[in-house]
Amino acid sequence: MKCGENEMSDGKEIRIALAGNPNCGKTSLFNALTGAHQKVGNFSGVTVEKHEGYLDYKGYRIMVVDLPGIYSLTPYSPEEIVTREYLIKEPPDVVVNVLEGPNLERNLLLTTQLMELEVDFLVALNMIDEVEEKGITIEIKQLQKLLGCHIIPTSAKKNTGLDSLLDHIIRVSRKEIEIRKNKLFFRPEVEASVEKITAMLTHQAELGGYNARWLAIKLLESDREVYHEVQRYPVWVKVELALQDALREAERLHDSEPEMLITEDRHAFIRGAIQECVRQPGGVKATASDYIDMVVLNRVLGLPIFLLVVWAIFQLTFTLGSPLMGGLQFLFGIIASAIAPLLPNETLRSIVIDGIIAGVGGVLVFLPNIVLLFIGLSFLEASGYMARAAFVIDRVMHRFGLHGKSFIPMITGFGCSIPAIMATRTLKSRTDRLVTIMIIPFMSCGAKLPVYVLLTAAFFAPDVAANVMFGIYLLGIIVGLWTALILKKTVMKSDSEPFVMELPPYRWPTFTSVFFQAKVKALMYLKKAGTLILSAVIIIWAVSNYPRNGALKTTRSTESVRIAGSSMAAAEKIKLKRELDLRIKSEQLEYSLAGRAGKVLEPLIRPLGFDWRIGIALVTGLAAKEVVVSTLGTIYSIGQSEGGPVELKSILRHDPSFSRATALSLMVFVLLYIPCVAAIGVMKKEVGRWRPVLLYSAYSLSVAWILSFIVYRLALLVT
């Protein structure tokens, strides 16, 4: 390796720099590589020592600069400033990031920052002798994939791995081996700010010497040096506003600053990489967080624990939600009885009572369940458990051709498909993104929850209801994963990209952050009820009441006169009058536009146990899934005789065309059939073309039909 000064190289020069933490073995490696050929000077303008040396190897003269030992590239110390300036202003051909093998977790912080700088670098995994002695296993191949660079095990002490290191240095400098330059992606809101500022900086030509993404990250980290640099250019005016926005967003969502979030995300990335690639032997001192991880990330226990946690959230949503829901139902009942006498006009009364109160009120009563579900999900997210769940699911996801990273958008889909589809932007591989987008609508979004709560409450005992709901959620995940597998094996073949499953620290979520999320979701729900659902309900009321059948009016008058003039007892007369009203209302409903449309649809959905009224609800549900409940509320209220039950769940329970099997089949259909129009619109925007979205809609409709059919038939057999 070492060679005399007068040994010849054929003039090809490669300049490399060794960068690493103090005591990682950089000096030892430097000495092992360059032997006697060293000189010590200072970095220009500072008193920090600069060690330079060279060696000749396979016809190359390799210049080696031993940079000062540093823990990060954040310029707090002169050593850090020097190293950073050197890497940016005089970028070497190859940066060799020396890592202390037995202490990988601490050392990888600098590696993540080299990744951000996007320099050509490779890793010398030093002290590999000690790693082996201590019985530590490092899955180098996997770690390579996650970091996007080559890793060469070395021992500067025992002079091993040095030839391989030099061979790789030459190949990297000759661009012979692919350098993936993996990016470290931050949480979506930080990533959005990084991308926004990066775009601004890319347009400022004078900053062209810097990597714009790196500058954006540093600005968000309040890096003073970078601030001074960027402030000199006109783009600063816009950048400053974007930084203020980012700060406000971080405070609002996390009660924190972008700088802290970035640091946290880097550590989460490192913890994830370590968890995936490094196995420590027993007897290592573990922290409380390590102990929790040992349980929740356990290969055997991890998945059952996750399922248990989700099941507990559904129990909570249902058990705590039920009395609150009952209270709201009672309230709407009182409102309806109070308003009815004030509206003498029959049509107006019908719009308000059968339309608005039954339809909008029917959706609003589920607000407590929605809020409770979001509180549960926000709690899991903010506590750091959701990332662990994604880590555990990662193994399962690989079997279906996907990565655990796709799991976070899937879980977001439990809230609403729209932000979930947008959250897939963090997936680098286009195929993985498309597949994830296609499976998100199979997750049970918050809008489907009212349908489940209504039907389970109507047809199942309270202790079984939450389990049925849990089963429906699980079915959505299973159908989604199988869809992914089919897509990956047929039209969207590709290997899944390596990703680090970030593991953020565990923490008690703050009351404000969890409740803020819940408040936002509650307000969104109320807004939707007051706008889209209200409009839908009025239209549904109109098409369910018109055109009017004049003949029915005449029949009603003559029959009423006949009953009134008969010699029956008063009670008997009232009973007959009620039956007459019910018959007339049902016939009018069948005569209406909605009734006729439903009748056309009925033959297609009859095998699933649905009649024409459910058919109408499924069509209107395309506007938003809650509208299924509003439609059922409006249609079944119109079809009720006055004095019949007012609560939709009791109306359904007493309706002869509705059974437990119908309820199960309907839940499955609502879970799986075409997503709402807003979600379809976002899918088209993200996918870019209509064809796949339309094909997907046809696929989901078919899956919904087939599975509802199976569930209905099985339920009929069992019940």
The contact set with ligand BGO (CB under 6 A) reads 20, 22-28, 69, 126-127, 129-130, 155-157
At 377, list the tokens. Answer: 């999900």
Tell the smallest beta-carbon distance from residue 161 to ligand BGO (Å). Answer: 9
| C-beta closer to ligand BGO: residue 103 or 467 | 103
Q: How far is the CB of 19 from ligand BGO (least distance, A)?
A: 10
Instruction: Rank residues 64 and 680 by Cβ distance to ligand BGO and give the closer one.
Output: 64
Helices marked H in 639-689: 648-654, 660-672, 677-687
DSSP annotation of 256: S
Residue type, 432: D
> Bridge-partner residues for 102, per DSSP?
none
The neighbouring-strand residues paired with 481 are none
Rounded Cα distance, 203 and 230, in Å: 12
Q: Rounded to the nearest whole angstrom, what is the least distance from the CB of residue 173 to ligand BGO in the complex?
A: 23
Q: How far is it, in rounded angstroms, from Cα 121 to Cα 140?
A: 16
* Widest distance between CA atoms in the chain: 130
Query: Could you give the residue ranges of the DSSP H alpha helices within 297-352?
Result: 302-339, 346-350
The residue to which tokens 């439903």 are assigned: 598
Write down the least CB distance from residue 305 to ligand BGO, Å. 39
Residue number, 25 or 504, with CB nearest to ligand BGO: 25
| Minimum separation from the CB atom of position 153 to ligand BGO (A) | 10
Residue 297 — φ and ψ, nearest 5°? -100, 5
In angstroms, rounded to a whole number, what is the distance separating the alpha carbons of residues 286 and 283? 9
Q: What is the dihedral of CA 381, 387, 393, 397, to 10 degrees?
A: 100
Q: Which amino acid is at 87?
A: L
* Residue 202: strand, helix, or coil: helix
Helices (H), ranges, 340-406:
346-350, 362-364, 367-383, 385-399
Using alpha carbons only, give the angle 612, 615, 621 rounded to the nearest 5 degrees.
150
The single-letter DSSP state of residue 155 is B
Let me know: does 99 contact 114? Beta carbons within 8 Å.
Answer: no
Indicate the residue whose CB is closest to ligand BGO.
Answer: 25
Give the nearer residue to ligand BGO in terms of CB position, either 133 or 463: 133
Q: Which DSSP state fits 642?
A: T
Question: Least distance in Å: CB of 102 to ligand BGO?
Answer: 9
Tell me how far, at minimum, the Cβ of 136 lies from ligand BGO, in Å: 13
Q: How far is the CB of 50 from ligand BGO (least distance, A)?
A: 14
Of the pair 36, 294, the CB lying nearest ligand BGO is at 36
For residues 122 and 107, what is the distance between their CA atoms, to the nearest angstrom?
Answer: 14
Q: Closest separation between CB of residue 155 and ligand BGO, Å?
A: 4
Residue in the block written with tokens 């995300």: 265
Q: In the bound complex, what is the minimum distance in angstroms from residue 92's beta carbon to ligand BGO?
A: 17
- Choose between 126 and 634: whose C-beta lies nearer to ligand BGO: 126
**Which residue, 126 or 329, is less far from ligand BGO as judged by CB?**
126
The answer to whether 429 and 488 are in contact (CB under 8 A) is: no
Q: Which is nearer to ligand BGO, 79 or 647 (CB)?
A: 79
When the beta carbons of 23 and 244 are compared against ligand BGO, the nearer one is 23
Count of Cβ atoms closer than 10 Å to residue 207 Cβ: 18
Residue 714: its H or E element: helix 690-718
CB of 98 to ligand BGO, least distance (A): 7
Nearer to ligand BGO, 126 or 637 (CB): 126
CB of residue 204 vs ligand BGO: minimum separation in angstroms? 37
Residue placing its CB nearer to ligand BGO in the complex, 24 or 375: 24
Vertex 687, ends 681 and 691: CA angle to 5°? Answer: 80
Q: How far apart are CA 279 and CA 37, in angstroms?
A: 39
Nearer Cβ to ligand BGO (278/514): 278
